[in-house]
Amino acid sequence: MDVNTITKASGQCLCGAVTVSLNDARPEAEVCHCTMCRRWGGGPFMGVSGGSCTINGSEYVTVYKSSNWAERAFCSICGSNLYFRYVPADHYSFCAGIFPFDGEIQLGKQIFIDEKPHFYDFAQDTQKQTGPEVIAEAIAAGFTFTEAKNES
Ligand SMILES: [Zn+2]
Ligand SMILES: [Zn+2]
């Protein structure tokens, strides 16, 4: 955990039916350029993770199982994407845009850089990993994948 975590980050979907309280949020938004994330959100995914979290209005949260190891959730009223959950580690990565962050976080690592289309680039030069590198790192950390396809 980073030393400068944000003690408590409060976020919400567009309509406000779902609110999120994330403790010890890491002060960076990790970016995923993979095809699935871009299809899901209309652009690259920017995720903020942290410690424990509370989701209020969970009756309005629809969870879509996008692969054998991942879930993606959205508000069933307004359609706002809420989080990506890596199931094997029970790890939540919340959509950065649901929080009112400005200067307190930075752009973090960019993953699946090999799947990024050419029509955009971020001005910030951050650490980058290809999809195979991300998967190799996860396998090295002890996670197994039951489907042989890229997902993040
Ligand atoms: Zn909503
Ligand atoms: Zn992705």
Given this model, what pLDDT does residue 149 score? 52
Given this model, what pLDDT does residue 152 score? 56
The pTM is what?
0.91
Task: Name every residue whose Cβ is closer than 8 Å to that of residue 3 and which is 6 or more positions away in sequence.
Answer: none
In CATH terms, 6-140 corresponds, of 2.170.150.70, 3.20.20.140, 2.70.150.10, 1.10.3720.10, to 2.170.150.70
CA of 92 to the centre of ligand 2 (A): 13
Q: Which ligand is nearest to the CA of 98?
A: 1
| CA gap 84, 37 in Å, rounded | 9
CA of 40 to the centre of ligand 2 (A): 9
Distances (CA, A) of 123 to 126, 136, 144: 9, 27, 34
| CA gap 50, 5 in Å, rounded | 8
Each residue's pLDDT expressed in tens, for the chain with a length of 152 residues: 445 899 999 999 999 999 999 999 999 999 999 999 999 999 999 999 999 999 999 999 999 999 999 999 999 999 999 999 999 999 999 999 999 999 999 999 999 999 999 999 999 999 999 999 999 998 999 987 765 455 55
Per DSSP bridges, beta strands 19-25 and 70-75 are: unpaired
| CA gap 88, 143 in Å, rounded | 7
Please report, for the chain, the start and end positions of each structural domain, with discontinuous segments joined by +.
Answer: 6-140
